[in-house]
Structure 1
């Protein structure tokens, strides 16, 4: 089918013939600007078959000519060589000009028709594209071409005419240039015809041309179609683009799409991509998924990275085609193999996603990321990813410097995550200069990129990481910014599951994870294994959402095939694995998993080992020594404090490093603030302890009642390390805890007001606190409170008893199962008994107290049985109860047995 003429309509043939015969030659058409003509020029109705030579991707073209020896074109096709040169000059004319000039010098060796005229014209064109117009003009190359036989060929006439009109490489001569273009058009040059049509549309007078713009365009298009040869697709695409951009014809996207389809059917992957892209966007034409997929498949045969990426996305997302991650990866790999930056980035991100579900793919991801970084124009986000990988592989502290270098490169390219992460590393360095450099980056992130993450970082940094923290005014400012934003509610488990893909189970927030594990503990044995955990996927005793969550974990485990601690950590994920060993320390896999987590730097896992494997890890000192290298390289907050608590003999610089690491790693929670303060108190670091007390006082503002009491306890225990008002601060915190409803705070405050011989004695406050204690105590706690009340000052006790029904409280405690309360209630009933029924009820409560294990109740019951008080006399039963009481160490029972000459049962 090569070089086969295509039949165009008779009208068009007649018009072209008339033009060539001179029928339309006349005076110049009036120079009046007009809107683009409406031209209905349809693709030929033929059985289109692939005939076009597929243009290789740019990466392949550049690679081919970078490896060319510059000596020979043997075995190459002249048409395609020239096509490559045109593409290279479009990519980088300055770089490729030397190669192009060598090629045109050698083209006659493979193409006998490539004469001196062609070489001259292409030399001029390449030099002009490379910005060497002054050299072309100085050498008089265009004048030489005008004086040669090259000026007799229509295609050359157009190019020479354009250069003359532009004054490019030659003295400008607009009239002569336009005359040459008209001559080329009459000679049938398609581009000249379309140039004239463009002149007409813009109102430029064209001498000796009186053909209507519409007819000019049709003749130009007809000449573009020409013959079926290897380069017809390029020409047909020009027609499609003309209908799309609307410069010489009115925009007609439907007709443009049909011309692109015609070129695609003739074998052009680029045209096929244009068809697919129009349907993908569905902005210019109605979307047809079948058409889009068909032409996207054709487009992919050309190896264009952007096409392969788009097709890969369809397979990755399961959009319009059945989801196939393997096919998606193959397409991304093909695209990346071209060296295309976008394709290499897409592959890296795709593999990053795969490794979330299957850690075995991590090496593949690392290789793809490394290849991307080897590019001279690697994207900024790649440096952020590289830094993250360094911190994961080497550890937060061992990899800090290398990661900082990577982040710096990302920052230079404007990557938001690099800006944020470098800021956090700088803030963690601990010195003033680095801290404020980090703060500047975070403020930039807030102002230029977005608020949520960086704002929270700024709150934490000013609250507990600044050298002079807490900076309360700055904390308040950034908290007001954070508060001004609408906070999305925490997603439900069902919503989080709906968002995951590729087998990656969601990382659950703390409270959601706690609830899920509460339910797991309720249905699993204490020694549950990790396998038991993932078997919850089919456990009907938990919710459907939780079953789905565990099925995702099970799928990941099936992929990983765990056989040791590392495998289970990979399968469960570090967060869930840590929570598992915390909840199931007796579990079959607990030691192996905890050991792996400890090797990853998790201090909580290290501490758990003292419970899971006490023979190997009997105390914290053993842990600190065993995991010292791990803590130094990657220890988290808890691990750093573990080492600090056991740093006897360490140098001051080593201790300072551990404090710096803990400070950098903290998430600024109240719990961590307290841990930090306690560790610094143990070290005797008064200034640092005082600072973390101030930080904890700020953190406690939003905490629960008991947190205030605990902080008060810490301050009161170390008043010597603080200022003179420390004791008052502690009492104020107890008071805050009390006002928020904390029970232990009542005891702290009561101790200062209940004794008459103390400076703070205040019977009214003591009454208030006793009443509060009775209200805040659970039934099992009531006996100790009521006993304490019984020993209180008479006036205090009496006033309390006017406000509180102590008998009802004793009964509530007895009903809750307190043996002490049962005994007290029995004695109260006996003391106030007025009927035999009252005595019998007292005896029943006495028996219940004895059955519940009260040795005193056993003695009272023995007396009742011995003398028939509230029960039928039963000396044998009395002896039995006395023996039981004596066995529990009750001395009254021992004395009674001796007096009754009853053999004592050995104390248990």
Structure 2
């Protein structure tokens, strides 16, 4: 076990711990296992466990194996996972029901639990489908919950093999190797052997001999298959992450049925009284995906409203987007606005901040409403959650000395699970010749497990392929990604093939097929490129795709075919387009051209004015300079005191005051004048809104002591914060707790800070949960309590997934020591 952990980073830690537990159990050393506290250690790391691992852990507590029995804790783990739809947990609940054991507040009868469990075990067509089908095969072989039936087990394994499962294909080969009489089938053995090899199964020399002796095929044929398999993966050098991708080939259908087992499974869970809003949101999303955004709207809307009643912020954003399609109706527009504001104020959803900026800047009929748009844009900037906008070539040239902030943000977002940033970070690692194999393997695994990340990474690879050999490798990786992700990247692969080898007749035919596949999904960019490549008449093309656009057309589809829409339907058609737009130069240009071509000059002029109000995207494209690079210049620009005009703090707007404060404390360029900086910060404290006050408070906490003393001489921050905290507002309690920490001089000061953070954490503030965990984990003003700290990090993870991951790792390391 130790040796494998040294060789395989992915096996080390959690899987290694489970393997050691299994070894103790196999040796019958239960008391030694109890003394090792391996199981207790896992219970402190619940957020790091997979669904199946959580269920395995619950069984130890349920039965008191290697740990003191704690049925309540075990049942909580199982039911939490069951309500999330975990098939393993549902089957565990079924086992308990069949044994007549208490299952807490689970109210479904055994037959319904079984249907949910085994229906969820199959689930959707994604990379785990083959493994779940293999699980069904094992259930039929074990005869524990299902009547033992080897024939059905074999059928499930064939299904998994046909869906691309290498392990399942090999199990079918093994079945025929050991079969006798009429069950022997050399043709099937040969077929599934090829399937296993093609999908990545490793065939050992002893196995080759066994197959040859069975008479199913020849050694030369097997060597040919193995040679093909090796040729696909052996031509990459160490500096590339490509060899470390383990991508499953999925036979993903272009469309899934409008109804099916997975959808029914979601419906049944959503009907449970205790089902969370996130389940209903997922159900509504699945309906919109399967039926199409517009065809499924009527069915999805009431489900989204149920999710909103249960407090799901993403459901608020989705419903707001659907309501915007009727933005001409004042009531619908007002409701969309209310939902987005509620998502921010009630749930702290930072994505809704960006949506509100787009809403006021572009989507309301009298846009741009700049005052409102700037308010939400500033709040989004203050939240500091926006991903870095960076090109492939920029990534390849990034240097930590030149753009440390951009790299730090990419890395932070990648660690927290942002797919696009993970792809960017892996691409950056490839450009560093000192990147370790461990790092490349780790990030390739993370990127390969996310469709969004994988799509972005292969696009980077294609853009940066500057030689013929690397271009071939990039196209091959693009095709592998297509097999893994499916039709969702048909358009991107088609564009890559147009650039790479469109003069080949076979590739040209493939491009058309890929574009038609994307067009049938409602992707307007594919329809436009198809029209350009084939020269088809736009009206003829619209007739072919009119029904698809009506049911599931995206923004580009609506804008591109606007000229084909009748006058009486035109406004509704364009309102749908506007509800899906991004507030960008590109989308505004599309709308301007659509209205201009229609002869609606007033509307075209409206969108020109909206374009002039854009906040971002003002790149100096002729000079190939981006906004981010211009901001870097401003940071490095020396500020001479006699060239900076004095700021009237009484009349200056908040944005100017913030910029002036940041320039004043930029000690790289000049000596810091604490009095001037304090004037700016005090003005923001006195004149800003709630968000600006928090920004100023954050600056105060990290400011130089001289600046803090100068601010204290002007205003009494402590008293104002204390009064707000005493009112019971969790946000104010968090702010006061952090303030007390920043000015603490004694252990009692730290204790007071921790006490206020505890109140805010109990009040449901996610930031406070993380900071409170930090305080009690490291013993700020009290004795360290790492176990309780980890419990609070688990609670915070429900609000901000991954937000306390770095702190969790540190506390776990302290506990190990």
Which band: TM-score by shorter chain?
0.3 to 0.5
TM-score, length basis structure 1: 0.37
TM-score (normalizing by structure 2): 0.40
**Which protein has the larger Cα radius of gyration, Structure 1 or Structure 2?**
1
